[in-house]
Amino acid sequence: MKKNLNVVGESVLRNDVVEKVLGTAKYIDDYKFDGMLYGFTVRSTISHGKIISINISKAKKINGVVNIFTAKDIPGKNFFPMILNDYPFLAENKVLFYGQPIALVVATNQEIAKEAAKNVFIEYEELEPVLDIHYAMKKNSPKIFGSDNILRKYIIKKGNIDQGFKEADVIVEDVFETNYQVHSYLEPNGMIAVPQPDGGITVYGTMQCPFYVHDAIANILNIYHNKIRVVQTTTGGGFGGKEDVPSLVAGHVALLAYLTKKPVKLVYTREEDFHGMSKRHPGYIEIKYGAKKNGKIVAAKVRYILDGGAFATLSPIVLWRGTVHAVGPYDIPNVLIESFAVATNKVPCGAFRGFGQPQATFANESLIDILAEKLKISPLKLRQINMLKPYSRTATNDKISNSCGFKKVLSEVIKKSKYEKILSKKNENLSTIKTGAGLAIAFYGVGLGAGGKYIDRAGAYLQIQKDGTVIISIGNTELGQGVFTVISQIASEILGAPYEFVKVLQPDTTRVPDSGPTVASRSTLMSGNAVLDAAKQVRERIDTMVLKLFNKSKGKVYSNGKEYFISTNPEKKIHYLEVIKKCFVQRINLSATGWYTGEDVSFDSETGQGKAYYSYTFSATVAIVKVNILTGVVEVKKIVSGHDIGKAINPKLCEAQIEGGVIQSLGYALTENLVLKNGIILNPSFAGYLIPTSMDIPEIIPVIVESKYSKGPFGAKGLGESPMITPSTAIANAIYNATGFRTKKLPVTPEILLELKNKK
């Protein structure tokens, strides 16, 4: 077969691997500037109250303390721009959660700054905290947001819900709950701000969204955007946790640098990061399905509530995604979804890989299994009857396009996992170890969709240098997911330049227009298309030169990745470097800017109907578990996880994304259990908050299906988050199939399993 792509679709070595493996990569805490000072944050020690006084006199006397600042020292606006703009940089009159920043110490080293922070004394008038979403929604609860504590609500109405349930032969309903999840990125949040001679400021740091940080600094300092430069440094993971809150860290450190006129570093300890930074929202989901005897689901109703914590930040968008996907990846004619993000006096929740979907998926994919059992139809068959296919309609009445390889994803996963065989095997009665298999499927709208369509765009700048090497600037950030490698492959493919020649520069707000956030698995699609646009412009000029060198006035130019040739004489080739040299001599412009905007999408706020996203990724996961019913310990033996992503630009990187997502989802299912008392996190460290270790990792079999999206670069959709959505529920379903204990809560700790067993 003729291979028509040179590097796209190949598992080339990722281009950030050498420095990361050798340890020469520099993370924010590795940087130092002359005369640099250190910041530390003074945080609230109560969950809800009025600030009566802030006493800094003792702290200020400590040797090495340069200054201490509070809200009144902010020259600009005291909030960072994020949807409802309700999160202050520094608390003014009241505090709404334990860990909320109140003041900032700046000192000659971090230990002194930390010590001084302990000696800032705050007098509070404590108020009753709202710790529970149900209480928060009651009339008589204290109000910490608006008149009802509701940060955002949505409704989706499709068909006629009452009629739908009337037509149903079987109805199932249940309530599911999920806990917080901590991002557990390798590198805690941190930034350095460096004042500039023109009164401006440059900020370096670990982050997903440099343009959000840019806006935040303009807000707090009240200076123009062209005096601010934000540079992302090599980032030790984000997973959504470095989407909104880096704006807070950057605002703080910019304020300190601006007021002291010195470079300042502010890097969080892990404990601070636990207390102060965003988390995955705890979810509470009431869900009901109605089906005909033959398995066709005719009605679905969901009431979905997220615990938003003290400030809204990203809750409206996380809730929106969760709402759109709340009834699962099924074609259901009658749907009613009502959803709420509710304010409580706890740490504000934000984005986390999957963005409101893992919570909803736990509910709908558990209930599908319950429905299957009641209908006496296999869980697989029930899904096959109802799942989305090309041209079927989602809950928002969005028509699925032909980029839908869902059927293939499911069949491959079923085949590779031997799901049906394991499911049909009965466990021996006397054995304490029970084996089971569980299935969960999902769809995932790629990009920001109708909920954030005005910022779904991206730019790129590309330049071929004298020696033929290429530099590229994009606005999306490398978080470990491999976007720089993917971008290099796309550019290399289009230009005909060897892959090794291409370098993606560290994202910098002065180099590329605002390209939106690095979230919603949008980078390959958005930045990929922007780079494609830029590269195509340059390639056109290269092709003109190649034709000239072949003495042709027209014709199609091909590349084998290092040489160009034309179809009429494929034997004769000209090396890339030779063409570039000629272009330089002839003063051809070998640079271009690229731009991409997402397809139009829409959403009616009254009915929730419309085209929510331009494209969807489809996924299916089977988990095989062994459960010890005496100890309640679950061992995950194997996970097969499949994803239709349009096109794998780099298959190995895609597999790595699937493996990483599966592991995060496994932790979410079994061990990651944040414990709060009176709104205070009791286990703010990895000693008490247990993420999977290498010993807990099962055999993982990633499956990639490529059903091309016509607007995606080489047909690609998006993958980043999809692997985190289904495995946790597949594990929960597997536990049920192994033991007969159905958990309605995540994580399924041994204690919960034993409790279920004792109830039985």
The residues that touch ligand MTE, with contacts defined as CB under 6 A, are 237-240, 353, 479-481, 483, 518-524, 657, 660, 718, 720-721
660 binds, options ligand MTE, ligand MOS, none, Cβ within 5 to 8 A by partner type: ligand MTE
Cβ-based nearer residue to ligand MOS, 185 or 736: 185
520 scored as a contact of ligand MOS (CB under 6 A): yes
Q: Which of 240, 447, 475, 482 binds ligand MOS (CB under 6 A)?
A: 240
199: left (phi over 0), alpha (psi -120 to 50) or beta: left
Q: What is the DSSP string of 537-577?
A: HHHHHHHHHHHHHTT-SS--EEE-SSEEEETTEEEEEEEHH
Full DSSP string of 67-120: EEEEGGG-SS-SS--STT----SS-SSEE-STT-EEEEEEESSHHHHHHHHHT-
- Give Cβ neighbours of residue 728 (< 8 Å, ≥ 6 apart): 358, 361, 362, 665, 666, 668, 669, 746
Binding partner of residue 40 among ligand MOS, ligand MTE, none, CB under 5 to 8 Å per kind?
none
Closest distance of CB 397 from ligand MOS, Å? 24
Specify the residue, 38 or 443, whose C-beta has the smaller distance to ligand MOS. 443
Binding partner of residue 480 among ligand MOS, ligand MTE, none, CB cut-off 5 to 8 Å per kind: ligand MTE
Q: Which does residue 346 bind out of ligand MTE, ligand MOS, none, counting CB within 5 to 8 angstroms by kind?
A: none
Using Cβ positions, the residue closest to ligand MTE within the complex turns out to be 720
Neighbours of 571 (CB within 10 A): 5
One-letter amino acid of 65: V
Task: Tell whether residue 721 is a contact of ligand MOS (CB under 6 A).
Answer: yes
Distance CA 702, CA 717 (A): 17
Count of positions on this chain that bind ligand MOS (CB under 6 A) = 10
Residue 276 Cα distances to 213, 216, 315, 587, angstroms: 17, 18, 16, 54
Looking at the Cβ atoms of 237 and 740, the one nearer to ligand MTE is 237
In this complex, which beta carbon is closest to ligand MTE, that of residue 86 or of residue 721? 721
Q: Which of 87, 211, 274, 352 binds ligand MOS (CB under 6 A)?
A: 352
The residue range among 170-178, 348-356, 549-557, 708-716 that interacts with ligand MOS, by the rule CB under 6 A, is 348-356
Is there a contact between 318 and 517 (Cβ–Cβ < 8 Å)? Answer: no
Site for ligand MOS in 249-308 (CB under 6 A): none
* Cβ atoms of residues 348 and 719 within 8 Å: no
Nearest residue to ligand MOS, scored by beta-carbon proximity: 240
Q: Are 405 and 432 in contact (CB under 8 A)?
A: no
Nearest to 54 by CA among 94, 86, 89: 94
Q: Does 613 bind ligand MOS (CB under 6 A)?
A: no
- Chain centroid to CA 584: how far? 42
Nearer to ligand MOS, 298 or 351 (CB): 351
- Residue 207 or 460 having the CB closest to ligand MOS: 207
Output the CA torsion sign for 417, 423, 425, 426.
Answer: positive
* Lookup: tokens for 185: 């990125």
Q: How far is the CB of 280 from ligand MOS (least distance, A)?
A: 9
The order of strands in the sheet holding 563-566 is 557-559, 563-566, 569-575
Return the SS3 of 492. Answer: helix
DSSP string, 602-613: ---TTT--S---
Position 182 contacts ligand MOS (CB under 6 A): no
What is the per-residue burial (b if ≥16 Cβ within 10 Å, else e) of 259-287?
A: bbebbbbbbbeeebbbbbbbbbbbbbbeb
| Identified binder of ligand MOS from the candidate list 248, 259, 441, 519, rule CB under 6 A | 519
Binding residue (CB under 6 A) for ligand MOS from 351, 460, 590, 756: 351
Say which entry of ligand MOS, ligand MTE, none residue 644 contacts (CB below 5 to 8 A, set by partner kind).
none
Question: Which region among 6-14, 61-69, 351-359, 400-408 touches ligand MOS (by CB under 6 A)?
Answer: 351-359
Q: In the numeric block, which tokens belong to residue 751? A: 């204690």
**720 within 8 A of 619, measured Cβ to Cβ:** no
In contact, 653 and 716? CB cutoff 8 Å: no
Is residue 407 a contact residue for ligand MOS (CB under 6 A)? no
Q: CB under 5 to 8 A by kind: which of ligand MTE, ligand MOS, none does 530 bind? A: none
Shortest distance (Å) from residue 107 CB to ligand MTE = 31
Q: Measured from the CB of residue 392, what is the shortest distance to ligand MTE in angstroms?
A: 26
CB of 660: closest distance to ligand MOS in angstroms? 13
Q: Which stretch binds ligand MOS (CB under 6 A): 184-192, 336-344, 350-358, 538-546?
A: 350-358
243 binds ligand MOS (CB under 6 A): yes
Nearer to ligand MTE, 287 or 314 (CB): 314
Kindly report whether the peptide bond that precedes residue 747 is cis, defined as omega within 30 degrees of 0: yes
Residue placing its CB nearer to ligand MTE in the complex, 181 or 521: 521
How many Å apart are CA 534 and CA 422, to the nearest integer? 51
Interaction partner, residue 623 (ligand MOS, ligand MTE, none; CB < 5-8 Å by kind)? none
Distance CA 410, CA 50 (A): 54
Partner in contact with 350, chosen from ligand MTE, ligand MOS, none, beta carbon below 5 to 8 Å by kind: none
Q: Label residue 114 left, alpha or beta by phi (over 0 means left) and psi (-120 to 50 means alpha).
A: alpha
Closer of 210 and 295 to ligand MOS (Cβ): 210
d(CA 720, CA 395): 23
**Cβ closest to ligand MTE, residue 9 vs residue 358:** 358
Instruction: Tell me the C-alpha distance between 2 and 553, whole Å.
Output: 27
CA max distance for the chain: 84
Residue 504 Cβ vs ligand MOS, minimum distance, rounded to whole Å = 19
Work out what residue 483 binds among ligand MOS, ligand MTE, none; the CB cut-off runs from 5 to 8 Å by kind: ligand MTE
- Per rule CB under 6 A, is residue 736 in the interface with ligand MOS? no
Q: Which residue number, 59 or 458, has a Cβ lying nearer to ligand MTE? A: 458
The single residue listed with the structure tokens 């194997």 is: 638
Q: Tell me if 353 contacts ligand MOS by CB under 6 A.
A: yes
Beta strands in 233-279 (DSSP E): 264-267
The stretch among 245-253, 331-339, 346-354, 636-644 that binds ligand MOS (CB under 6 A) is 346-354
Q: Give the nearest distance from C-beta 650 to ligand MTE in angstroms.
A: 11
518 or 529: CB nearest ligand MTE: 518
| Span interacting with ligand MOS, options 110-118, 352-360, 416-424, 545-553, rule CB under 6 A | 352-360
Q: Pick the closer one to ligand MOS by CB: 334 or 515.
A: 515
Classify 149 in phi/psi space as left (phi over 0), alpha (psi -120 to 50) or beta. Answer: left
**Least distance to ligand MTE, CB of residue 270, Å:** 17
In the complex with ligand MTE, the residue whose CB is nearer, 223 or 483, is 483
Burial bucket for residue 570 (CB in 10 Å: 0-12, 13-18, 19+): exposed
Tokens 């569980």 identify what position? 438
Q: Which residues contact 333 (CB under 8 A, 6 or more apart)?
A: 158, 159, 164, 298, 299
Minimum distance, C-beta of residue 359 to ligand MOS, in the bound complex (Å): 13
- Closest CB 722 distance from ligand MOS, rounded Å: 11
For 753, how many CA atoms within 13 A lie in the half-sphere containing its CB? 27
Name which of 250 and 414 has its Cβ closer to ligand MOS: 250
215 vs 243, beta carbon nearer ligand MOS: 243
Instruction: Return residues touching ligand MOS (CB under 6 A).
Output: 208, 240, 243, 351-353, 355, 519-520, 721
